[in-house]
Each structure stands twice: as C-alpha cells, then as structure tokens.
Amino acid sequence: MDLYCKRCGEPYDYYHIQHEITATERRRYWDGEGCPSCYGKTVDKTPFRAHVAGALQDLFGDDVDGLAAEMEDAEQMMGSSFWE
Ligand SMILES: [Zn+2]
C-alpha cells in the first residue's frame, strides 16, 4: 500500500516512509512540510490526491494502516483522475 505526500502527491511505499527514511524526513513528511522529493523546493500545484491524503491523515491520525487502505480505496474509486 502507498502513502502520498501532502505537498506534492508523490506516492511512497508504506514501508519506505515508516522504516527507510530518516526520523527528520519522516517528521517533515507527516507534518506536511514535504517528502524527500519536494522538501525545500517549490511545488507549483498541489494535486488533488495530496489534499485527499491530508484530509484523511487528519481523520485517521496515527492509524497509518487505515490511512494507506483508504488512499488505496480512493485511487480505485477515482480512477485516472486520482493522478491528475
Ligand atoms: Zn512531496
């Protein structure tokens, strides 16, 4: 299951975010400051999936499993528009 950056919408494997990035990168990621791809860079347009990820994170809090499962459902429901 994937998680999505709340700034740029970049997809990341759940395991990567929880175990393979540094603690600082992880805090920035969850605080919405950016992922390893976009932190410190200008993001011209925050994609819809990034807004969805942010809203669902507010809803699920520390339940990262629930968040990842819900994002997978959102991707299936929205089809190609998920990636616009
Ligand atoms: Zn990002």
pLDDT, tens only, 17-76: 999 999 999 999 999 999 999 999 999 999 999 999 999 999 999 999 999 999 999 999
Report which residue type is found at 26: R
Question: Please, which residues have CB less than 5 A from ligand 1, an ion?
Answer: 5, 7-8, 10, 34-35, 38
Instruction: Please give the distance, rounded to the nearest whole angstrom, from the Cα atom of residue 9 to the centre of ligand 1.
Output: 6
Q: Which ranges constitute the DSSP H helices of the chain? A: 14-15, 23-31, 48-60, 64-78
DSSP letter at 2 equals E
Indicate yes or no: pTM above 0.75: yes
